[in-house]
Structures are given as structure tokens and as C-alpha cells.
Structure 1
Amino acid sequence: MMHQTTCDLATQQRIHVVGVGGPGMSAIATTLQQMGHLVSGSDIKNSPAIERLRALGVQINVGHDIAVVEHCDYVTASSAIPQHNIEIVAARSTGTMVLSRAEILAAICSQRPTIAVAGTHGKTTTTSLLVRIFTHAGLDPNFIVGGDVLNESTGARWTNSQWTIVEADESDGTHLQLPLTGSILTNIDSDHLDHFNDLASIAESFAIYLSQIEGPRIVCIDDPLIRNLPQSGDWHTYGFDTTADFRCHDVIATDGLTEFVITDQRGAGLSVAVSMSLRGMHNVLNVTGAVAMAVSCGIAMQVAADAVETFAGVGRRFQIIGDFNGATLIDDYAHLPREIEAVLAAAKFSDDGWKRIVAVFQPNRYNRMAVMSTEYGDAFMNADLVVITDIYSSGTEKIEGVTGELVAHAVRARHPGQEVLYFPSRDSLAQQVSAVLQRGDVCISMGCGDIEFLPVEILQTLEGKDR
């Protein structure tokens, strides 16, 4: 299906990015700058992301000012930026086209054949794996990823390559607007119910998404909702299921490494052995999907497997931050029940020798917790100690009676014998968590808010004691 984009990036444009410090928009700004466009941006405060953009030559204003959108060809902003933002209002008043993130990303994708990774969970890791495989194969792809690809030390790059690799985010319907050559679909789960009415609507959107792609569609057959989607065209499956076209099997986890086999069951049954530093069965699936897509694009299966062995991971995905008195501190972006369950299972069965798993979770978005808090009841089954803090709003309106304690109640209700602590104050969380950690623990802090800074804050409490 042909997509028409509203922005022509084939010639140099002057583009202003509102909220440029956010992970999604900073990646867009990086790409546009490296494509040769004249890029400016604004945000309410400085950040490391803004400093990296300045180093690339992007002109950034801290604070919003209507003067910065003068003489721009386009202004773009994420859905998190309110429409009454003064720069957006000023742009519209002068007839300057204001583009959503989906629209500017679609314009970028239209410049080259583009492979996307879609699905509720695993998008960032699978996209990053594709980048590593294509880079290892000498294809040097353009990419836009929702986290820092540690091998590349960035989450976005434009090399003018023949291939572009991106995440297809479903949260605001972006995935339906992208002109794509091929896609991986990892799974379908309940989320973003403020945009979708229910799980059935989410599944329907992914069915439409796949129907718009003419090239390879690589889908996880282990997911029951994906299994029931209508199939057509260049459709290949992957998973543990014995019927999968690309089947992963014989998984062994030892000393922080995971080894397994991928078999292409479509023809002669070619198999490759894979060794990776990623933990967990969910990452076995992520790797298998990435290898399947690479093979569908003409990359040899062994080349793809060799690339996985050199994959350094993604920022905020089971990222080991440091050691606190013999306890290992890990940061992870997991914020939905299935993601949390997968991360804790990876720690439980990783053969790292950790004595206790301490899970620290910061719920995200009041509107999400208002409807989903009970779904977290079984997510922490593999944790020995669960610590819940209060909700990180992510710009959502506070709802009376909706707090992080709802998640704590859900876990206690499902598992009355499990030790669950509720520490509502984010300011004192590092002190409270450091007080309960023991030598031999692994402490995994999870969420998509400012919980990412918790491991460093815990390490700083140690430095304070040493003074």
C-alpha cells in the first residue's frame, strides 16, 4: 500500500523540533541534522541529550520562544507536547506546517527502504539487534531506535545507506502511518488504552499494519493474538513453537551467557548456534526475530548469528550499573506486567548466582494505573522482595485514589506470602532501598520514569557513608 508523506525531505529544509530533549524527538533531530537539514530545537531544560545535539550542530533554545519558528519550513513535536505550546501556536498562525512525530518519521522512512519492528514489548532490543546485524554485514544502516544502541553509542544515525531501520510505535497510531518495506511483529498485549479502546482494537490495528506492508513480515507465532491474525503475502513465523519457520530451541544459560540454536525450517533445515550476553527467553525470541528478518533481506544466517555474539545491548535493558556492598544494581525499562515478568524470569534462571532478587518498580501514568493496576498481581512472582514507589505521571493528570499502592495491593492479593514494601516517596527511595539490600542480592529497578536514576542514587549513598 502506498503512503503519502506530508513533508519532502529530498531537498534541504529548515525544521524546528519542539521538546527536542525527549528520547523520541532527539533521535528525530539527530537524523534530520545528519541528513543535511537545518535543524533547531527547544526544550524546558538542559540535558545530556541536548548537549549531544548541540555537539552535532543543532541550534537549541532552552525555554520556548515564538521567534525560533520564524522562517521554518516545518515544525514538529511529539504527542506529549500540548497543542497550546506557544511555538506550535505561532507556527500555525503563520501557516507553517506542524507535523506530528509520526508524520516526520514517515517522511524519513520514505527516503529509503525501511524495516520496522512493531509490537507491545521488545521493540527497542529487536530493532537494536537488527542494527547490529546489518552493521556487521557491512550495510551500515540508517536507524532510529528508542534507546541507545550501546555498540553505536547513539539511538539514531543517518549514513545515507540503502537501508533504514526504525521502531514502529503503536502508542499513538504511528505504526499505521509509516511507509515500510518489511516488519517484525514481536507480540500484542494490552497497553495505550487511552488511544485504543480495548485489546481487540490493538490487535486489529496490527492486522491493518501488516496488511500495508508488501515485503517480508516476520511474526512471532508463540503469541496467541498474532497466531490468529489474517496471513497474506511474504509472511514468515518465528518462535519456540515446533511449527515456526524460524525455530529457536535448546536454550542453555550459563554464567551470564545464553546459548541456543535457530533452525530455518522452511527448506533444508539450516541451523546456527547462537551465543549472546542477553538474558531471558524473551531475548531468545527477540534475537530469533531479528535473525529471521536479516535472512529475509539476504544476510547469511551465520553472519547474523556472529553479529549477535558481539551485541553489547541497549541502554536501560537489563543494564548492569554497579555494585553496592556486594549487591548488583540493574536498570531496566520494563513497565508493563509481561515485561516485568520476563525481566525477573531472566534474572531467576540466568545462573548468575544471585541469592535474592529485589524488584523495585515505579508505576507509570495515572490513567494506565487506574485501569491496569490489578494486572500487575502476578508480574513479580520471581522476586524475593518487591518494592513499589508512587506513580510517575509522564504528564498525565493525577486521579484521586490512584497511587502506586494499588500495585502493591494487587501483588499482596495474589501472593499473600510475598514480601512487598510500599515506599511512596521518590526522594527518599534510594536510602530506603539501600537499607534493605544484602550482599549477593540483585536489585532490578524498573519503570519508564525517573526510576532510571535510582541505581546511581544508591551508589551515591555509599559514597556518602565513605566520607
Structure 2
Amino acid sequence: MNLNKIHNVYFIGIGGIGMSALARYFNMLGKYVGGYDKTPSVITKRLVDLGIAIHFEDSIQQVPEPFLNIENTLVVYTPAVPKLHTELTYFQENQFSVYKRSEVLGFITKDTYCMAVAGTHGKTTTSTILGHLLAEANLPMTAFLGGIAENYDSNLILKGSKLSVVEADEFDRSFLRLFPNSACITSMDADHLDIYGDSDSLKDSFQEFANKIEGGGVLFLRTGLQLKSGLPENVKTFSYGWEDESDYQVVNVQIKDGAYVFDIKTPNGTFTNINLQLPGRHNLMNALVAFSMAHCYGVDVEFLKKGLKSFKGIQRRFSYQINHQKRVYIDDYAHHPTEINAVHQAVREMYPGEKVLAIFQPHLFSRTRDFADDFAKSLSNFDELLLLDIYPAREEPIPGITSTWLLSKINNEHKQLIPKSWLLNEVVSSSARIVITLGAGDIGVEVSKIKEALLNEIKVD
């Protein structure tokens, strides 16, 4: 695929967070960009505002004429799109250049020094911090992100083409399309078992990803993780962890004025008085490995310290919507038990002794089925729980797998299964000072409504 010969880029599923980053990229390069998505969203609206043509009906008649020119059109699709999608089928049957998002990302980054962030948790935060650190150091880089970085109000940082930062997504084995020079693996917890079948197959895929690192490259591996067939050859490997024997370590951690202040111990010495505004020990690990990858590349430590201190976070990643003495409202994308536990740890550390209300929307029937007991255990830790129906995403219902079934497993005296129409009333009537929304489905649509209701309550008081 010679991207220089491409004039038109058409996206099927353009509203996805990863797809929209690519759409922004090609649009900024001056390509004619358009696409389809199932429903309008904040993301699609912002793309339309950039001049990108988007429609919401699966019909080839809706596709603007320039994209029907086979000679200079690239069609990009996401695996979340059904295989019998009318537009996708048309482009495939008529021999257009049709590629998955991950393949196109591989084409773009192949001729760059590619820094890839892999792991079942922490990819978005780690890659966004890393992109921010490189941008702060004024390096010629592009970062394709899986979330909206608060510092840039975008999921794309475009400052040059020598370096690239990408999320190496294990879903659909997408990360095996990349050609990383530097990579990290943050975690290998079982997930996406609808794709892999079992955790062993998932770990096999991470091994294959590690083996794809270019010779002379670098791998950062969270201490405690083990690759099934050993470390890749001709690749320098570093471990990272929390006050242990790792090559890179977070040490001397304190909390001051709601922020972490800590030191980082490296093979080349210890760097002190580093500041991070993101709550949660998991975010300290994300910041550590981003720092480590940039440091290993040769970025000056003063740039790294400045970048960590100025990093504002990512939308829907422990994102403060309200931080008031009467109410604190936090929104987070957590949709796996490990991620929910990380949010719980962070909120308890930041607000010890406070009552916490969690609102959770399960994501996927298969994930709810596969991790039901772990979900029940993690959700039992909150003082109050509002549970919503399962968000199906790409799946059909599975008999017996419902939120009612999940609720029965949760050991929490203050739990309720409610429809969305009850949500605002239940939140406002709760005496919990801390309110958290959790989930990867359309619960994000409710965030602004909850925020407005709580702010109105605060004003009335």
C-alpha cells in the first residue's frame, strides 16, 4: 500500500475512537476523508466540524462519489463492523483497497521509529502520557490515541513523522499488524475471550507481539509478567515496578495536595521530586513505563519531569466532572474487574472514609459471563451500587446472562438494578459524596446529564 498515491480515504465505523484518530490524521494530511457510522456522537460531530463527510445509513448510495473511484481510494474498516455490512461488502466485492484499521496503522508507522503500548489494561493512559512527553520534548512525532487527551482535546498528536506512538490493541489480534521498535506490555489479564477462547491463547498472542519488535529494539515488561516462550532475541528488555528489584522503579511515593510526588530509580541513577496529578497506583505504573520508554529513547529528564507534571489526563479515565466539597463526580471507562479494582483503590486513597456510589454498565454479554464472579467481588467494594443493563456492543444476547443474574452475585446491601430513566433521580437522592460512573458502553452519554443534575443540586443547596 503506497499511501502517497491515495487521495480519498473512506472509513466504515468512523466514529470509533481509534478510527477517528486515523480520520483526523488523513484529513490533516490533506486527503479527502469521509465515512459511515451507525449513530451520531460527539466524536462524529467533531469530525464533521473538520469538514469530514459522514452519514449514518448503511447504503452505497450515501457514499460521496469521489470515494467510488477505485484507483485512488483507500477504504478502512473496524472489526466491530458486521461482516455483511452493505458498504463493506460492496468495496470488497469490487476490488477496492480495503484494510482493517490496524493494517493501515501498520502502513503509517512502519517507516517511523514506532513506540507501541500493549496490555489488557493501561494502554490508553500510557500511550497518551508517552505521546505528551515526546511532544513536550519537541520531537517530530505522531501519536494515535485511544482516548481524548485533555492537553490536546484530541485523540491525535501530530507534530512530525520520525516517531510514532500507538496503542497496540490485542482485540482481534490487531497489534500483530504493527512493527514496533520500542514496546511495553503493561498487563496480560484474561480478556476478549470471545476472540481468544482462553487466557493461554491470549498470552500466545502477546508472545507473538513481543517477537515482532525489530532487532536492536527495546521491550519494557511489567515486573511479574512472564512471556510463555521467553524474552525475544536481539531485543533489550527492561522490567518496571513499584519499590522492588525492577530496572525502573517508582520509589518514595507521597501524596501532596491531591497529587503524587515520587522518585524514579533507573539503571542510570535516581530522579527525584517527580509530580503526577493522576490518582491511582495503576496510573503511577502507567506514568513510570511512559517515562522509561522516553528516557531510554534519549529524552532529557527535565522534559520528562515537566511533561508528567503538566499532563492533564484523558477523558473517561478517572476524569473529574465535579470536584466540590459537597459532591465529587468522577467518570471512568473501566469495564473489566481489574480496572474497577484500580478505580476503587484510587478513590479510597484520595477520599478515605467517604461514602462512594458506583454506577456500572456491564459491557458485552460474553465478558459479563466470563468474569461474573470477579465483577461481583469488585463491585461489592463500593458503599452503594447502581447497576444498568448489559451494553451489547457487537454481540447478540446470551441466554441467562443478564444484569439481574450479575446483581444476584454481588454482596452489597445497597445495590439496585435500575433503568437509565431512573438514573438521575437515584444519583441526586444518594447521600454519597463521591459518585463514579464506570463502563465502556453508552454510559458515557449519561455523564453530562449526571453532571448537570449534581451541579444544580449544589447550586440549590
Structure-1-length-normalised TM-score: 0.90
Match of 1:237 in 2: 239
Match of 1:41 in 2: 35
C-alpha distance in structure 1 between counterparts of 2:324 and 2:150, whole Å: 23
Q: Secondary structure at the match of 1:355?
A: coil
C-alpha distance in structure 1 between counterparts of 2:383 and 2:455, whole Å: 27
- Residue identity matched to 1:280: G
Instruction: Report how far residue 251 of structure 1 moved.
Output: 1.3
Output one character per residue of 1:91-111: Cα deviation in whole Å (capped at 9) or x when no partner.
123211221111122122224
Output one character per residue of 1:339-362: Cα deviation in whole Å (capped at 9) or x when no partner.
100111011012x46621222211
- Answer yes or no: is the 8 Å Cα contact 1:142–1:163 preserved in 2: yes
1:367-386 pair list within 5 angstroms? 367-380=366-379, 382-386=381-385
C-alpha distance in structure 1 between counterparts of 2:386 and 2:167, whole Å: 31
Instruction: Report how far residue 26 of structure 1 moved.
Output: 1.0
Output one character per residue of 1:290-325: Cα deviation in whole Å (capped at 9) or x when no partner.
111001111123321221000000110111112689
Pair 1:157–1:250, CA change in 2 (3 A): closer
Match of 2:446 in 1: 454
1:387 corresponds to 2:389: no
Pair 1:228–1:183, CA change in 2 (3 A): same
Output one character per residue of 1:15-43: Cα deviation in whole Å (capped at 9) or x when no partner.
21012122121111111222332222122
Residue from 226, 250, 253 that aligns with 2:252: 250
- Answer yes or no: is the 8 Å Cα contact 2:264–2:272 preserved in 1: yes
Instruction: Report how far residue 411 of structure 1 moved.
Output: 2.6
- Answer yes or no: is the 8 Å Cα contact 1:291–1:304 preserved in 2: yes
Q: Secondary structure at the match of 1:208?
A: helix
- Answer yes or no: is the 8 Å Cα contact 2:389–2:403 preserved in 1: yes
Output one character per residue of 1:69-101: Cα deviation in whole Å (capped at 9) or x when no partner.
411422111111112111112112321122111
Aligned residues: 450
Instruction: Report how far residue 231 of structure 1 moved.
Output: 4.9
C-alpha distance in structure 2 between counterparts of 1:307 and 1:464, whole Å: 35
Pair 1:110–1:36, CA change in 2 (3 A): farther
C-alpha distance in structure 2 between counterparts of 1:277 and 1:324, whole Å: 17
C-alpha distance in structure 2 between counterparts of 1:55 and 1:9, whole Å: 25
C-alpha distance in structure 1 between counterparts of 2:395 and 2:84, whole Å: 16
1:70 corresponds to 2:83: no
C-alpha distance in structure 2 between counterparts of 1:56 and 1:37, whole Å: 12
Instruction: Report how far residue 457 of structure 1 moved.
Output: 2.0
Pair 1:298–1:236, CA change in 2 (3 A): same
Match of 2:6 in 1: 12
Out of 113-122 and 89-98, give the one that drifted further.
89-98
Q: Identity over the aligned pairs, expressed in percent?
A: 28
C-alpha distance in structure 1 between counterparts of 2:322 and 2:27, whole Å: 34
Output one character per residue of 1:218-275: Cα deviation in whole Å (capped at 9) or x when no partner.
1111x344598435421111111522111111111233211111111x24x3323211
Match of 1:137 in 2: 137
Instruction: Report how far residue 407 of structure 1 moved.
Output: 3.0
Pair 1:208–1:228, CA change in 2 (3 A): closer
C-alpha distance in structure 1 between counterparts of 2:321 and 2:286, whole Å: 23
Instruction: Report how far residue 123 of structure 1 moved.
Output: 0.4
Match of 1:271 in 2: 271
- Residue identity matched to 1:14: N
Match of 2:189 in 1: 189
Match of 2:91 in 1: 91
Q: Secondary structure at the match of 2:249?
A: strand
Output one character per residue of 1:25-74: Cα deviation in whole Å (capped at 9) or x when no partner.
11111112223322221223332222222233322233233142411422
1:148 corresponds to 2:148: yes
Match of 1:415 in 2: none
Instruction: Report how far residue 122 of structure 1 moved.
Output: 0.5
- Answer yes or no: is the 8 Å Cα contact 1:334–1:446 preserved in 2: yes
Match of 2:44 in 1: 50
1:88-237 pair list within 5 angstroms? 88-214=88-214, 215-221=217-223, 223-225=224-226, 229-232=230-233, 233-237=235-239
Instruction: Report how far residue 450 of structure 1 moved.
Output: 1.6
- Residue identity matched to 1:283: N
- Residue identity matched to 2:424: A
C-alpha distance in structure 1 between counterparts of 2:41 and 2:79, whole Å: 20
Out of 425-434 and 314-323, give the one that drifted further.
425-434
Q: Secondary structure at the match of 1:188?
A: coil
* Unmatched segments (≥5 aa) in structure 1: 1-6, 413-417
C-alpha distance in structure 1 between counterparts of 2:89 and 2:360, whole Å: 38
- Answer yes or no: is the 8 Å Cα contact 1:272–1:302 preserved in 2: no
C-alpha distance in structure 2 between counterparts of 1:343 and 1:463, whole Å: 23
Match of 1:24 in 2: 18
- Answer yes or no: is the 8 Å Cα contact 2:6–2:74 preserved in 1: no
1:411 corresponds to 2:417: no
- Answer yes or no: is the 8 Å Cα contact 1:27–1:145 preserved in 2: yes
Output one character per residue of 1:355-414: Cα deviation in whole Å (capped at 9) or x when no partner.
2122221111012112221121332364222222211111310122211233323331xx
C-alpha distance in structure 2 between counterparts of 1:224 and 1:47, whole Å: 38
C-alpha distance in structure 2 between counterparts of 1:52 and 1:41, whole Å: 13
1:436 corresponds to 2:422: no
- Answer yes or no: is the 8 Å Cα contact 2:203–2:228 preserved in 1: no
Q: Secondary structure at the match of 1:378?
A: helix
Match of 1:401 in 2: 400
- Answer yes or no: is the 8 Å Cα contact 1:144–1:157 preserved in 2: yes
Structure-2-length-normalised TM-score: 0.92
C-alpha distance in structure 2 between counterparts of 1:249 and 1:104, whole Å: 40
Q: Secondary structure at the match of 2:44?
A: helix
* Unmatched segments (≥5 aa) in structure 2: none
Runs of 4+ aligned residues of structure 1 deviating over 6 Å after TM superposition are 463-467
Pair 1:302–1:463, CA change in 2 (3 A): closer
Pair 1:384–1:217, CA change in 2 (3 A): same
- Residue identity matched to 2:2: D
- Answer yes or no: is the 8 Å Cα contact 2:204–2:228 preserved in 1: no
- Answer yes or no: is the 8 Å Cα contact 1:259–1:273 preserved in 2: yes
Match of 1:3 in 2: none
1:322-337 pair list within 5 angstroms? 322=322, 326-337=326-337
